[in-house]
Amino acid sequence: SQQGEEDPQALSIQEGENATMNCSYKTSINNLQWYRQNSGRGLVHLILIRSNEREKHSGRLRVTLDTSKKSSSLLITASRAADTASYFCATDYSNYKLTFGKGTLLTVNP
Amino acid sequence: DAGVIQSPRHEVTEMGQEVTLRCKPISGHNSLFWYRQTMMRGLELLIYFNNNVPIDDSGMPEDRFSAKMPNASFSTLKIQPSEPRDSAVYFCASSLGTEDTQYFGPGTRLTVL
């Protein structure tokens, strides 16, 4: 399977702490994207990092991409209770076909 | 913009019945995607349209599933006949172009009894 896989499957932290989630994939990609899904809701796009980029920031989010290791990480700094959600990485192999992992369930305790 | 609109939000039906899910993409977006999400298999791409034309339907599970996009502002996913294993959340997403960010609708939660 070309599916990206997130690690850990679940993460529980206290408000104010940083949360790091990882994603590994198997073949060359055009880009890698991170999405968030609140319980019972649709997916919300967070950030896209292209294969020729190594790091990208957006607000409290920091994404890194290591194509040699075929891995990416999503860091959420100074987490808030509202960050509680499932986070998915999606790998783009063929210009349109996103392949999603099973997600990391992040719980931020107030 | 209202975002991607899906209807119904919830559907409960009995095995053997026909189910039709509807999607209105974001105006101006040329690409439309149907996904299915289950606990076991995660999020799977079912079919992808570009400029109203089906480009890749390799993810459609079987002949019971069909999808149409008669115009740029409307798409349907039909299951006939439905089976309990079709129970899942079905998402529609649209993007400006094939390599652009995909915007997801709120999903339709389908339960087949």
Q: Count of A–B CB contacts within 8 Å?
A: 48
Burial of residue A24 (CB within 10 Å: 0-12, 13-18, 19+) is middle
Shortest distance between the Cα of A30 and any Cα of chain B, in A, equals 9
Q: Which among B98, B99, B104 has the least Cβ separation from residue A43?
A: B104
pLDDT at B101: 85
Shortest distance between the Cα of A102 and any Cα of chain B, in A, equals 5
Q: Does A50 touch chain B (CB under 8 A)?
A: no
A26-38 pLDDT tens trace: 888 888 999 999 9
Question: What average pLDDT does range B63-72 have in this prediction?
Answer: 96
A40-82 pLDDT tens trace: 888 999 999 999 999 999 999 999 999 999 999 999 999 999 9
pLDDT grade, residue B27 (50/70/90)?
A: very high
Q: Which among B98, B105, B107 has the least Cβ separation from residue A96?
A: B98
B68-111 pLDDT tens trace: 999 999 999 999 999 999 999 999 999 998 777 889 999 999 99
pLDDT at B64: 95
Instruction: Identify from A30, A35, A39, A43 which residue to disrupt to test chain B contact, counting B C-beta atoms within 10 A and taking the largest count.
Output: A43
Q: Does A103 touch chain B (CB under 8 A)?
A: yes
pLDDT at A3: 65
